[in-house]
Amino acid sequence: MRYARSFLEDLVQLDPLQHQEIYDYVLTQMRQIESVYELPGLRPLDPSRIYYRFGLKDYLIGIEATGRIIKLIRILPKPEV
């Protein structure tokens, strides 16, 4: 698993409780998955199926999946509907 600078910058901007929840999820639960398709609410962002997003609490997390390597790109708040 890899982390983009933008992901780390977004993570630092979160309040401490949300920061810890996302950090724990990324370091424990995400490392145990066998396939990117096991992520909750995973949706492709492009036709090539390299970029995806999934939801975690009130946030969307953008990833790049190439083979068995997952790169975390962004953490953005879910849009209000």
Domain boundaries, the chain: 2-77
Integer Cα distance of 59 and 24 in angstroms? 14
Q: What is the mean pLDDT of residues 21-27?
A: 90
| pLDDT tens for each residue of 57-79 | 899 999 999 988 899 999 999 98
- The CATH architecture annotation of domain 2-77 reads 2-Layer Sandwich (3.30)
Q: What local confidence, expressed as pLDDT, does residue 62 receive?
A: 96
Please enumerate in sequence order all residues whose Cβ is within 8 A of that of 48, keeping only pairs 6 or more positions apart, or say none: none
Pull the structure tokens for residue 21. Answer: 């929840």
